[in-house]
Amino acid sequence: MILPRLAKLLAAILFAAASVCGGARAQPADLEPPPIAAAADLKFALDAVAAQFKRDTGLDVRLTYGSSGNFARQLQQGAPFELFLSADEAFVFQLADAGKTIDRGALYAEGRLALFAPKGSPLKPDADFADLKAALADGRIQRFAIANPEHAPYGRAAAEALKGQGLWDAIQPKLVLGENVAQAAQFVATGSAQGGLVAYSLVRSPALAELGTFALVPAAWHAPLRQRMALLRGAGAAATSFYAYLQAPAARAIMRAYGFTLPGESS
């Protein structure tokens, strides 16, 4: 006898495959767009994956972006999401240990940090923070954005990188904290901050790339941003199909284009 969860997964994959073979079709009434909680660094990449998923399968998903820590807390309290894509796999493991997820999920990507500055900023991004150090010393930097380290994985990584380079004490009074990494990137893109440490996947998008310049931060400067996803208990066929699709070649190609390192690939 096939286990119920395996049967559901197979049914979703078979439905997706049938949709690809026969062309996109209307979403059945029993496959309403599932609510999906996704880390803010995925905003542009996951929007592109969801659009390709719809073209390939005819299925919609309903994406909500935010900080992984806040989502994890909401899910512990019973928030009605069917799939959670976290920027820190520890949050998925916590939910799994609490019995909120179907299993311990799957690693879908590893993220990277970027030093980002808007056009016209006195800060010139470079990979070794040389100009950031100089700008802090000579007073060119007044506001610098990162995600809130208390609940945003990219904020913790940013703080770790700054501390490791001996800049934390000097930059702390100038910090502008975003609720999530996308908000931190928005602060920089709009010129509300003269620079910031944000997700590489965000600044790789055309929407932000044209608004400033960036430099990729060495991966060794912070703990790996291992990003994991998991289906929540009660997830339906559409969410299960999207979960499977995220591990398939089409989705992986999109994620790679946005600068993510994928499972089975080296950075």
What pLDDT, on a 0 to 100 scale, did the predictor assign at position 32? Answer: 83
The amino acid at residue 17 is A
In 50-62, which positions are buried (b, 16+ CB within 10 angstroms) versus exposed (e)?
beebbebbbbbbe
According to DSSP, the residues that pair with 36 across neighbouring strands are 63, 83
The total of other beta-carbon atoms located within 10 Å of residue 260's CB is 25
How far, in Å, CA of 167 to CA of 161, rounded?
9
State pLDDT tens for residues 116-153.
Answer: 999 999 999 999 999 999 999 999 999 999 999 999 99
**pTM of the predicted model as reported, rounded to 2 decimal places:** 0.86
Which domains are seen in the chain, by residue range? 4-110+224-257 (3.40.190.10), 113-216 (3.40.190.10)
Task: Read off φ and ψ for residue 143, nearest 5 degrees.
Answer: -140, 130
Strands 35-39, 83-85: pairing kind: parallel
CA distances from 71 to 24, 55, 85, 227, 236 (A): 31, 28, 9, 14, 19
Q: What integer pLDDT is reported at residue 31 of this predicted model?
A: 61
CA distance 231 to 127: 37
Share of residues in the chain with pLDDT > 90 (%):
86
DSSP string, 83-123: EEE-SSHHHHHHHHHTT-BSSS-EEEEEE-EEEEEETT-S-
Q: State the pLDDT at residue 5.
A: 42
What band does 265 get if pLDDT is binned at 50, 70 and 90? Answer: confident
**pLDDT per position as a tens digit, 214-223:** 999 999 999 9
Stronger pLDDT, 89 or 1, i.e. the higher one: 89
Distant-in-sequence, close-in-space partners of 100: CB < 8 Å, separation ≥ 6? 75, 76, 232, 233
pLDDT digits (tens, 9 = 90+) for 4-61: 443 344 334 333 333 333 333 445 545 689 999 999 999 999 999 999 999 999 999 9
Residue 162 is classified by DSSP as: H
In 10 A of CB 216, how many CB atoms?
A: 15
Output 16 or 84, whichever has higher pLDDT: 84
Q: Check residue 227 and give its pLDDT.
A: 98
C-alpha distances out from residue 210 to 43, 169, 185, 194, 263, Å: 17, 31, 13, 16, 29
As a whole number, the mean pLDDT across the chain is 90
d(CA 84, CA 35): 9
Q: Assess contact for 205 and 258: CB atoms under 8 A.
A: yes
Measure the CA–CA gap between 74 and 143, rounded to whole angstroms: 31
Q: What are the tokens at 160?
A: 């770790």
pLDDT attached to residue 267: 59
The answer to whether the CB of 259 falls within 8 A of the CB of 201 is yes
14-28, 67-81, 206-220: lowest mean pLDDT where?
14-28
Tally Cβ neighbours within 10 Å of residue 116. 30
Assess contact for 115 and 129: CB atoms under 8 A: yes
Please give the residue that has the higher pLDDT: either 71 or 23.
Answer: 71
Q: What is the pLDDT of residue 264?
A: 84
211: pLDDT strictly greater than 90: yes
150-196 pLDDT, tens digit per residue, is 999 999 999 999 999 999 999 999 999 999 999 999 999 999 999 99
